[in-house]
């Protein structure tokens, strides 16, 4: 049984161009995966200077962590994104949309004053579930 994504007509629809569902129902006996916040760091630990590169690496890292547990984007249930600059909202949406495709997990977007260390501009955490 697949994940069931819902957008009730009794709730305002998702914001335009936002790829998310109001809820995702996970069937019984699914395998859960909690993905720590992924920063925009390359595998060698280096940190790109630009937001554009960092958001790409956040998503590449999420895909890699999902794959290590035999999961993919289609298994995402929840995404939480932390941005340090409101002006990056559109670029974040564009990159997220490219990675999500037709899959719409639940999501929360937060603007924060800073992350773990000064060079980091974005962090994305996720929850996934794979139905049997």
**Which among 37, 114, 115, 120 has a CA at the least distance from the CA of 79?**
37
- pLDDT tens-digit map of 102-113: 999 999 999 999
- pLDDT tens-digit map of 23-60: 999 999 999 999 999 999 999 999 999 999 999 999 99
Q: How far apart are CA 59 and CA 40, in angstroms?
A: 8
In order of start, what are the domains of the chain with their CATH numbers?
A: 29-130 (3.30.1330.40)
- pLDDT tens-digit map of 116-126: 999 999 999 99
């Amino acid at each position: 049984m697949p994940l069931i994504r819902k957008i009730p007509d009794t709730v305002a629809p998702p914001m335009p161009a936002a790829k998310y569902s109001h809820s995702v129902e996970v069937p019984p006996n699914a395998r859960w995966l909690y993905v720590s916040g992924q920063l925009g760091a390359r595998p060698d630990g280096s940190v790109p200077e630009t937001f554009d590169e960092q958001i790409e690496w956040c998503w590449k890292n999420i895909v890699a962590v999902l794959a290590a547990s035999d999961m993919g984007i289609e298994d995402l249930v929840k995404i939480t994104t932390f941005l340090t600059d409101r002006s990056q909202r559109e670029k974040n949406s564009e990159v997220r949309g490219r990675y999500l495709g037709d899959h719409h997990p639940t999501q929360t977007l937060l603007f924060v004053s800073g992350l773990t260390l000064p060079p980091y501009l974005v962090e994305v955490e996720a929850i996934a579930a794979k139905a049997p």
